[in-house]
Structure 1
Amino acid sequence: MTTYTLPTFLDWLAEQRSRGLVHYDDRQQVWQVLGHPEVSAVLSDPALFSSDLSSVMPAQDEYLLFQKGNFVRMDPPRHRKLRGLVSQVFTPRMVAGLEPRIAAITTELLDATGGSGRLDLIEALAYPLPVIVIAELLGIPAADRPIFRRWADVLFDQADVDPSDPVLEAGRATMNRVAPTIREMNSYLLDHIRSRRAAPGDDLTSRLLAAEVDGEHLDDQEIVGFVGLLLLAGHITTTATLGNTVLSLDEHPGAAAEVRADPGLLPGAIEEGIRCRTPFPRLARRATIATRVGTTMVPSGAILQLWVTAANRDSRVFEHPDRFDIHRSPNPHLSFGHGIHFCLGAPLARLEARVALRILLDRYRDIAVAEPIEERNPWIMVSINRLPLEVRAA
């Protein structure tokens, strides 16, 4: 079995692209979609391309419970109702108001590492920062973050994925493997939700319990998927973004020098890091009728594997797509999705990355990546598990 690194993974995608921007893959038994306009079109049309794959996956009690409130896997009109509920409490104003707290947590975490020397960016900052922020928002004990990391590692750090395996067959095997973790997560979250129902506080979980959808409250089981999605997606995306951006700047010292000289370039550097090292490389959809994707007809019921990583390097949209360019504008990457399922937490991930990286650059005049780096399997997630840094205080 091939051990994938990001370069070998990109080579595999290039080989797939040479077979057509939309084509059927006999080995994986899915339709591969690799172009930016094609992926965008699929994500923009939930009527033709469903996010609900339950009809092609086995029913499991653990997943059924988690999926009740997981609006990422829902289609309209249910999706609109449930996402609207989260939007009532997860507002732009609320996110913007977190900046002082994000800065304080970042400073506290970096203070704990001492001054100059070596630190692991992931252990010291990129993992604990977003977990503390989202746990505090949800009213969940941040001290339980080792538990949350174990869940994320089981779900998003699968080393045995092979592109020669049929996708649905591999998906069923993965479901069986992670079912105990899903069961543990559901139990933990249900206990938390019930405690908040009994004694509401000033947190997102309590507000979700109080919110209404068409005049109805959600039950505890429905809120499990909400809270679980916010907890997991609310930290792993930022962890990936921080690690990927620091690694990209280390690989491009000219860009790093520009950002140090002009911190106003930092948002552009973050966006380019997200484009070049797309955290979630692929999405899946099911065609509800026979329809055209690009110039290719796909049959009703077809499973489409949307390669966001490939779309983000489409030369029809991005000039010099393999170049890390912090001045790229516009930068219409699809790393946070597109259409009705655009990532609800994208503003929070961007804010956390911007605040944390600004403080990191202010605190250390020299930041250099050391060895060994440990990366996740990019087939599942483009992220870093271990990123040692040599730093020198300013």
Structure 2
Amino acid sequence: MKILRLDLDGNVLDTWNSPSEAANELDLDASHIMKVVKGKRKTHGGYYWKVDEQETMVDQTFSKSYDYKKDEAILTAKTDRPLTSLEEALEFFEVDTEKWEAERYVINSWDVTNKYGQKYTNYQVKVWLKPKDQKLAAFVASVDQIIEARKPKSLFHTSCQEERKMVINLSDFHIGADVKDLPRTQNYGLDIIRDYIASCVEIINAYEASEIYVNLHGDFFESISGMNKENTFKSSNVWGADVIILANQLIGGDLLSNIINLKGVNIVGGNHDRMSPSHNLESTGEGAKLLSYILSKDFPGLDIEFNSLIISKEIDGINYIMTHGDKYLNRKDTSKIVMDYGNSSMFNLLTEGHFHSRYVKKTYKTSTIRYDEYETVTLDEQKYRKITLPSLFTGNYYSEAMGFGGTAGMIITENNGKGFPLVYDYTL
């Protein structure tokens, strides 16, 4: 314990590391010095005496014990170091929190007095640990790493040659699907979808547009539950939390982060985005909703909108009506959908996915003029159009058995300057 001698104004004159050191130098008795510093007045010989509390040496030592087993661990310690919470205890024991988690803990404390008459607090702590669920821990760590590492680079790119707004329309990623060696359907897997996304980014950025909007039309996952259909497991190798993480890496990291001048993202859910095995239990695309939430955290400055059914939004003078394409709503006449959800003051472009093949439906107003025995039909295009988008996913055994399939693709649209869409169809 350090002893300080001060003048009566409180200025430190001398410092000794212990009472005995001060006693030897001043030819005094150490016990007398202790009586002074413990007394009420703390003065002697015209000086003020005190103990340096910050430098006080405490005689109490602590003990630690570790008892690690395969399925549990018990840690105990007695120390003068203040421990008041589980977090402080785990830090004190240097616990690897990636492998272990606390089941329960106990912390006791009591006051003691050392031989110099100083009071301090002792702590006794005991912590019971159990091994962490490694899969859950890996999931949490992966999500944390994704959120920490994701930088919305697109928000900081502003170079462009002209004022040009483009809309990117993508559908049916079916992440987690693993399709090989079918007679007609192309192979599909993680490496292939990464190549498709890289091609999309290259095409998009080549336009050097001033504003880019991305419309995502659902079916991001092949199967979250792994049991969408009885034979889903045969063509899917990633499911559960892992497929959600993978989707965030691909769509957030590979796609959105690399698009220059990205301004907004619109997301609708698909029938494959459910978390339950059956659409009878859940048909609102909860997986897509979770993905959009994670993306909104990754890109806090980006306008991201999600709806499980339909989004109607004006982009650069054209109203886009976005659905996945699997609902009974999509079986309605296009004019009915436009009337219910569209914008009558501008051209409406209804886009949907789901069918894994391209369809374009134009609606025409017809009038008939009779000249003798001949009929001539004049065509006047209405202010709406329906496009069934190509998908990135090219199919599996189930779709081939039903006779469906198509080439992977992306559709980009823009205003032609007169309020009508220019449509660019890219085969990947």
Report the TM-score range of the alignment, normalised by the length of the smaller protein: under 0.3
- Structure with the larger RCO, 1 or 2 (CA within 8 Å, 6+ apart): 1
Query: Which structure carries more helix by proportion?
Result: 1
TM-score computed with the length of structure 2 as normaliser: 0.21
Query: Which structure carries more strand by proportion?
Result: 2
TM-score computed with the length of structure 1 as normaliser: 0.23
